[in-house]
Amino acid sequence: MSRGRAGGRRARGRWHALLPAVVLLAGCSDNRREAAGDLRTAAAPAPAPFVSAARETSTAKLAYRHDLTVGLAPDRVAPHFAAARDRCLNETAGCTLLTASIRDGSGTRQPQAQVQVRLPHAAVAPYVAFVTAPLPGEAAGDVTLIEQATRAEDLTAAISDTGRRLTQLNDYRSRLTALAEKPDNRAEDLIKIAGELAQVQSQIEEAEGTRRGLDERVDTEIVTLNVRTSRARAGAFAPVQEVWSRSGPILGESAASALRFTVASLPWLPIVLFAALLLRLVWRIRRKRAHPARVRLEP
């Protein structure tokens, strides 16, 4: 019994001696797990905001177009349209307003608007952030980005061909100018050279205009903003609620259509009646011919 008790005391003594080391190892492993978790959290990429897809270091000559569709309440379409238009006209340097149109929500139609602008590369992201953000006094959920798309057109070959054509035309003009400066030219030759120079100069100006247009498309980006109404209701009966809320305009539009049809049909009414009487007369004549009257013979 004494030996057993002594062995138990020695085992408990070893355990008490190892307990601090076990706790220390557990603390180290927890610290390692926490550090690894912090590293994974730090390494996780944050959602990046909208940035221009154009890159100045890219060798390709690309023309970018961005299409945005924003959903709003019907009464907020006009304020957002005016804000997007005025942002380009008054507050964004280098912005060119290409299109600005709005349609009201009279009758059964829903209001909608469109703004199309041409922007430098550096101004694209701030402009997109502005037109997709709530205006002062609106909540964050009042503006919904329904759709966003970016397209690029490669103009590398077109720009290269235009530059090569300009080089050839300039060389040809230089040779014609050198011929015109010769002292032994006849009057007829000078007239032909002058006509050829005028034609070449016209082609050079046309090619330069084409190159300027291509360079402008590469140096800028087009942003098209479509503003539409988004349904605030959800659920299986959302369409029914939407129609019920607009029952007055829908009823008025249907009544107007019925009245329009009635008024348009009035001039045709005498013609339809005359045609009906004529058909009835023809039908009675054919019936008499098919069933002639029987003559009764008296004895």
Q: What percent of the chain has pLDDT over 90?
A: 46
pLDDT at 230: 74
Say which amino acid occupies 200.
Answer: V
Distance of alpha carbon 163 from alpha carbon 108, whole angstroms = 53
Predicted confidence band of residue 246 (pLDDT cuts 50, 70, 90): low
* Mean local confidence (pLDDT), 192-214: 94
* Mean local confidence (pLDDT), 213-228: 95
Predicted confidence band of residue 223 (pLDDT cuts 50, 70, 90): very high
**The total number of residues written for the chain in this structure:** 299
Is residue 293 classed exposed, middle or buried when 0-12, 13-18 and 19+ CB atoms within 10 A define those classes? exposed
* Mean local confidence (pLDDT), 268-278: 87
* Mean local confidence (pLDDT), 159-184: 93
* Mean local confidence (pLDDT), 245-274: 81
Predicted confidence band of residue 269 (pLDDT cuts 50, 70, 90): confident
Beta strand ranges found along the chain (DSSP E): 62-72, 96-103, 112-120, 144-154, 220-229
Mean residue pLDDT across the chain: 79
Q: pTM for the complete prediction?
A: 0.59
**Alpha helix positions (H), 155-186:** 156-180
Which helix or strand (DSSP H or E) is residue 121 part of?
A: helix 121-131
Predicted confidence band of residue 15 (pLDDT cuts 50, 70, 90): very low
pLDDT at 40 over 70: no
Predicted confidence band of residue 33 (pLDDT cuts 50, 70, 90): very low
Collect all residues with Cβ–Cβ distance below 8 Å to 177 and sequence separation of at least 6: 197
pLDDT at 233: 45
Q: What percent of the chain has pLDDT over 70?
A: 70
